Amino acid sequence: MKTEIVIRNLSKSYGKKQALKNVDLQIGKGMFGLLGRNGAGKTTLMKVLSTLLEKDSGKIKVCGISVEHASEIRKITGYLPQEFSMYPNMKVYEAMDYLGVLSGLTKAQRKERIPMLLERVNLTENAGIKVRALSGGMKRRLGIAQAILHDPKVLIVDEPTAGLDPEERVRFRNLLSEIAEDRIVILSTHIVGDVEATCEEIAVIDQGRILFRGTVGELLSLVEGRVYRAEVSRKELDRIRSSYNVTSMITLGNNVKVRFLADTKPFSTAQHCDAGVEDAYMYLMQREGAPLCS
């Protein structure tokens, strides 16, 4: 059985609102980043993959198993929702144990795996405290531990870094990268830095459609050689915005540092610079219309 997810022509709508439109994706082993703004359809896609939502049409196979076979899929996938918590009066170990039972683990397996996973997410010392006493970052780490409790082939993580401080965020990404060594990890985020640092493969999704699918390098190549930066006055900013794709701005007193895209050097003070994922992402987001590739 190949560790791979194949999505063909997937559509899903809530009433009149179409959340996913003819999505085609192929996802292999390693970290896969799903990038898009809030409401783009990321959560919907992830829920469909983890059988928490039924699709309207299309085909999905997770490691060769069709998504209709929910119980089979649930055996091999782990899911961490965007918003979650656990029974607040349970101790960390108890909560893991409870979820372990629901995943069908035997007592021996639970005894072996839970301490190991708590160690891995650095919660060993907190095993005896109640869930309600955990900080946001600890809760996220516990979330990851519960999602890989049954050693799934696929781990689906929805916006895992939301609400974490920068240091925790870095640690969390590293943790995910480790986990992704021998399985598929799908990570959704609206924060470009998350995928830039960790994902080999990414997809950009907007309004239910896949705008881009490829490696980080391929994403960068969309804007390679066309990124310029300049420090301009506020007055000039409007002109630049109307003529170019502005990808970022930082205000410095009366002046503004802008990054923008241009095919040739636009004016003398503009400096050519290396493209970043954020530039490419902003470029995709602003260039409404047909997807570049699928």
Partner 1 sequence: MFITLFRKECVQTAKSLTYWLYVACLVLFFNSQLGNMHILTPPQEGQENYFDYGFETDITEQDIMETGAGSLVWAYYYDNYMTYPVGFAKSVSLNADEKEEIGDIICELTGLKPADLEADIAAFFETHDIQTTQYEVKLKEGLTYDRFLKYMDRVAEILGPGSGYTEENLRANVQIPVDYEGAVANYRDLTEKDGLTGGYARLFCDYMGVILGILPVFVTATRMLRDKRSRMQELIYARRAPSGTVMGSRYLALVCMHMLPAAVLSVIPTVNCIRAGIEGVNLDYLAWLKYDLGWLLPMVMAVISVGIFCTELTETALAVLVQTAWWFISLMTGGTEMYGGSYGWNLIPRHNTELNYAGFEEGIRQLAANRIFYAVLAMVLLALTILIYERKRKGHLRRSGKIFRNHKSTDQV
Interaction site with partner 1 (CB under 8 A): 14, 17, 39, 43, 47, 50-54, 70-71, 74-75, 77-79, 81-89, 97-99, 101-104, 107, 146, 150
Q: Are strands 184-189 and 154-158 parallel, antiparallel or unpaired?
A: parallel
To partner 1, the closest distance from the beta carbon of 90 in angstroms equals: 8
Decide if 261 contacts 227 (C-beta within 8 A).
Answer: yes
Q: Which is nearer to partner 1, 41 or 276 (CB)?
A: 41
Token pair of 236, please? 């000039």
Shortest gap between Cβ of 173 and partner 1 (angstroms)? 22
For partner 1, the closer of residues 64 and 225 by Cβ is 64
Query: Which tokens is 222 given?
Result: 């969309």
* Cβ-Cβ contacts under 8 Å for 23 (sequence gap 6 or more): 7, 9, 10, 11, 45, 58, 205, 208, 209, 210
Residue 200: CB minimum distance to partner 1, A: 25
Give exposure, 86-101, as e/b (b: 16+ Cβ within 10 Å): beeeebbbbbbbebbe
Q: At closest approach, how far in Å is the CB of 223 from partner 1?
A: 32
Tell me how far, at minimum, the Cβ of 115 lies from partner 1, in Å.
18
Q: CB-wise, 32 or 79, nearer to partner 1?
A: 79
Query: Judged by CB, which is closer to partner 1: 104, or 225?
Result: 104
Q: What does the alpha-carbon distance between residue 93 and residue 48 come to, in Å, rounded to a whole number?
A: 29
Q: Which is nearer to partner 1, 208 or 276 (CB)?
A: 208
